[in-house]
């Protein structure tokens, strides 16, 4: 997952209508990501992966239940890096359906 900020003054666009600037580094593996949400100020991002497995010995193997997870990141003060906020939220082993399939950050 990559996060971008629109800059209407950027001249990188061929039509002169602005451009998109990357914010921070890449978050998570895009093959696992099913949903994202960004805070109103763009400083916090939630990334949901509903088919993520927590099955040893290979966390990306699809041999165990698809527990799902949600990771939340905050943009560091330098504006160049994302840092995790708290622990990763994981779905239960009891068959949570689509945990991480939809995420939303509040506006408050």
In the chain, domain spans? 27-90
Nearest CA among 103, 108, 69 for reference residue 88: 69
Per residue in 41-98, pLDDT (tens digit) is 889 999 988 776 655 545 555 555 677 888 999 999 888 899 999 998 888 766 657 8
pTM for this structure?
Answer: 0.74
């Amino acid at each position: 997952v990559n996060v971008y900020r629109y800059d209407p003054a950027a001249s990188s666009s061929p039509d002169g209508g602005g451009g998109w600037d990357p914010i921070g580094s890449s978050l998570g593996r895009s093959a696992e990501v099913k949903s994202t949400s960004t805070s109103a100020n763009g400083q916090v991002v939630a990334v949901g992966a509903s088919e993520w497995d927590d099955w040893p010995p290979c966390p990306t193997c699809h041999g165990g239940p698809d527990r799902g997870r949600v990771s939340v990141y905050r943009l560091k003060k330098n504006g160049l890096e994302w840092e995790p906020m708290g622990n990763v939220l994981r779905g239960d082993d009891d068959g949570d359906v689509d945990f991480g399939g939809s995420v939303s950050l509040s506006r408050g």
